[in-house]
């Protein structure tokens, strides 16, 4: 219920004094009233003021001042008489605190009031309870279809709430305006924003506008017909003046045609024959001609219907706008999503095969060869290994292979010659040829023994020194040799 003061910036002449009556709104605009400003103070819109109330005072917000208040009083048929209530003062902090305390009681009071009315059995619906700022008066707004005898109800309310009770009946549209809401158009309800005068709405308004009589679509939140049905009614009535009134039925040689609807926007009238459901659009001029011929007793051969062409929307004109950012291509994203889907399908198929046992075999080597075939060297390929290899033409026949597992007892197995300890620790590729190792002390490399030189005999064990540690068990002593390569020991051939 906001009001725009479009006369606020217009200056008045010096001889004219500003209008001394202001408009004050209460309870967030649900109720408005006029008060005389006898304090000679200037009030701006939005200020909180204290005004006269019933046996006390009330607090409201200044809604309108100046010359525009005269038009509002004329619209609501309020006369400028001495009986107009007075404005007392600007609201103080104590007044505002007292008002907030009483406003917090309204919700609980509404719940209790509904329970009391239901206990008595009155056919009424309480919409809102408004308590005065000083807490001395409470106004109960209700809706009812029939007359309600609430004399007993007032006594119960006065005893329960300890206030002076006023009952005020409102209509369903005023109730919707107090409650508020969103209409089917997507905007806030007209009755809760700007509409104050509620005119009666009939289904005739919907018929003039060629609307289907659907109660669910034509009704508002108040349960009555929407107020907006009257907004465009005058425009439709002006447009319908060009259409003939006595052309509900016309006669041709093909039969009698009946009027189905009037298209106000295209100025067409649609007719159908009694034995057919096809509709024929006719212009207003053609309908008047046929009607004139029928009055003369002439029936035309055809209706001469108009071909209705649905116009395609015009393409938007190219204004020469260049997109400097560029267009976004979704093909890369689509390809990536397709790849992810394909991988997920393959993974699911592998898991399914693994569960069913189809993929339990050995994996194939690249090239389609099995594991055994991949181990064998191809013809013409040199086998791996670091030993001396024979040329291709001097290959010796292989000895007979013995079975891998020897099941004979250990005493009957032939003794194998043991390799030297150092030779066993070396890789196979280096066992055939012995290379001299570098000296760790940074000196020159020492070559190993020559093949003609006999191996060096081991020294005799030394006697332990006095105070030294005893030798370890087993008769072996720790021998200290010079660092370097030692010749391999002769294998001990056990008989």
At 377-405, the pLDDT tens digits run 555 555 454 444 444 544 555 555 555 55
Mean pLDDT value across the chain: 77
190 phi/psi in degrees, rounded to 5: -65, -35
Q: What's the longest Cα–Cα distance across the chain?
A: 162
To the nearest 10°, the Cα dihedral for 101, 102, 103, 107?
A: 110
Residue 235 has pLDDT above 60, yes or no: yes
Which CA distances in Å does 266 have to 89, 206, 272, 376? 61, 19, 18, 93
For residues 128 and 50, give the distance between their C-alpha atoms in angstroms, rounded to a whole number: 22
Residue 164 has pLDDT above 70, yes or no: yes
For residues 423 and 431, give the distance between their C-alpha atoms in angstroms, rounded to a whole number: 6
Residue 325 has pLDDT above 80, yes or no: no
More confident residue, 479 or 323: 323
For residues 191 and 459, give the distance between their C-alpha atoms in angstroms, rounded to a whole number: 124
Q: At what angle do helices 151-161 and 106-120 cross, to 10 degrees?
A: 140
* Strand arrangement, sheet containing 249-252: 249-252, 255-263, 268-273, 279-283
Q: Which percentage of the chain shows pLDDT scores above 70?
A: 67
Smallest CA-to-CA distance from 428 within 387, 394, 457 is with 387
More confident residue, 449 or 196: 196
- Residue 319: predicted pLDDT: 61
- CB-based contacts of 242, cutoff 8 Å, min separation 6: 267, 284
Environment class of residue 1 by beta-carbon count within 10 Å: exposed (0-12), middle (13-18) or buried (19+)?
Answer: middle
Residue 447 has pLDDT above 50, yes or no: no
Name the region of 383 (left: φ>0; alpha: ψ -120 to 50; beta: rest). beta
Residue 58 has pLDDT above 70, yes or no: yes
The answer to whether 260 touches 270, Cβ cutoff 8 Å, is: yes
What's the length of the chain?
Answer: 495
Quote the radius of gyration of the chain (alpha carbons, Å): 56
- Residue 477: predicted pLDDT: 43
Residue 443 has pLDDT above 50, yes or no: no
- CB-based contacts of 26, cutoff 8 Å, min separation 6: 32, 33, 58, 60, 61, 130
Helices (H), 277-356: 284-295, 331-356
Residue 31 has pLDDT above 80, yes or no: yes
pLDDT tens-place string over residues 328-353: 566 777 888 888 899 999 999 999 88
- Residue 334: predicted pLDDT: 80
Least confident of 229-238, 319-328, 431-440: 431-440
Q: Which percentage of the chain shows pLDDT scores above 90?
A: 30
């Amino acid at each position: 219920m906001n009001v725009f003061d479009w006369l606020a910036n217009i200056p008045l002449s010096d001889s004219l004094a500003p209008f001394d009556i202001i408009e004050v709104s209460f309870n967030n605009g649900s109720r408005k009233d006029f008060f005389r400003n006898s304090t000679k103070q200037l009030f701006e819109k939005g200020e909180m003021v204290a005004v006269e109330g019933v046996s006390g005072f009330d607090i409201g917000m200044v809604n309108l001042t100046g010359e525009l208040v005269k038009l509002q009083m004329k619209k609501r048929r309020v006369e400028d008489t001495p009986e107009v209530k007075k404005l007392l003062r600007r609201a103080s902090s104590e007044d505002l605190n007292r008002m907030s305390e009483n406003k917090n009681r309204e919700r609980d009071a509404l719940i209790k009031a509904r329970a009391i009315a239901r206990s008595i059995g009155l056919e009424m619906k309480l919409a809102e309870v408004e308590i005065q700022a000083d807490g001395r008066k409470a106004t109960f707004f209700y809706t009812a279809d029939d007359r309600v005898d609430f004399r007993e109800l007032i006594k119960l309310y006065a005893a329960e709430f300890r206030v002076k009770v006023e009952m005020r009946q409102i209509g369903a549209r005023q109730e919707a305006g107090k409650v508020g809401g969103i209409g089917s158009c997507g905007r806030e309800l007209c009755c809760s924003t700007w509409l104050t005068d509620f005119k009666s709405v009939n289904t005739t308004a919907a018929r003039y506008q060629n609307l289907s009589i659907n109660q669910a679509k034509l009704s508002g939140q108040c349960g009555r017909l929407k107020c907006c049905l009257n907004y465009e009614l005058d425009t439709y009535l002006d447009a319908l003046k060009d259409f003939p009134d006595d052309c509900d039925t016309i006669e041709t040689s093909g039969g009698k045609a009946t009027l189905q609807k009037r298209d106000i926007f295209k100025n067409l009238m649609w007719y159908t024959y009694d034995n057919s459901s096809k509709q024929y659009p006719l212009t207003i001029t053609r309908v008047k001609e046929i009607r004139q011929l029928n009055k003369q007793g002439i029936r035309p051969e055809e209706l001469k219907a108009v071909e209705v062409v649905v116009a395609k929307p015009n393409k938007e004109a190219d204004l020469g706008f260049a997109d400097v950012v560029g267009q976004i291509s979704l093909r890369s994203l689509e390809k990536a999503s397709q790849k992810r889907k394909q991988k997920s399908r393959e993974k699911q198929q592998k898991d399914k095969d693994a569960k069913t046992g189809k993929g339990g075999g050995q994996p194939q080597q690249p090239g389609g060869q099995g594991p055994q075939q991949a181990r064998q060297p191809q013809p013409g390929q040199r086998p791996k290994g670091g030993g001396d290899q024979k040329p291709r033409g001097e290959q010796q026949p292989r000895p007979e292979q013995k079975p891998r597992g020897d099941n004979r007892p250990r005493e009957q197995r032939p003794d194998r010659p043991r390799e030297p300890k150092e030779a066993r620790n070396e890789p196979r590729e280096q066992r055939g040829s012995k290379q001299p190792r570098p000296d760790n002390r940074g000196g020159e490399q020492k070559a190993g023994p020559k093949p003609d030189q006999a191996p060096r005999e081991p020294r005799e064990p030394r006697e332990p020194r006095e105070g030294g540690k005893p030798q370890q068990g087993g008769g072996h002593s720790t021998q200290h040799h010079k660092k370097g390569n030692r010749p391999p020991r002769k294998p001990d051939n056990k008989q």
